[in-house]
Amino acid sequence: MLLIDKYLTKEISKSSTLSLISLTLIFSLFNFLDEINKPYLLEKKIEYILYSIPSFAHMISILGVLIGAIVVLGKLSEIVKY
- Domain positions in the chain: 22-76
Burial class (CB in 10 A: 0-12, 13-18, 19+), 74: exposed
- In whole angstroms, give the CA distance from residue 3 to residue 57: 30
pTM: 0.83
Residue 82 in this model has a pLDDT that exceeds 70:
no
**What is the tens place of the pLDDT at every residue in 22-81?**
999 999 999 999 999 999 999 999 999 999 999 999 999 999 999 999 999 999 888 877
**C-alpha triplet 25, 27, 32: angle, nearest 5°:** 90
| Residue 64 burial by Cβ neighbours in a 10 Å radius (0-12, 13-18, 19+) | buried
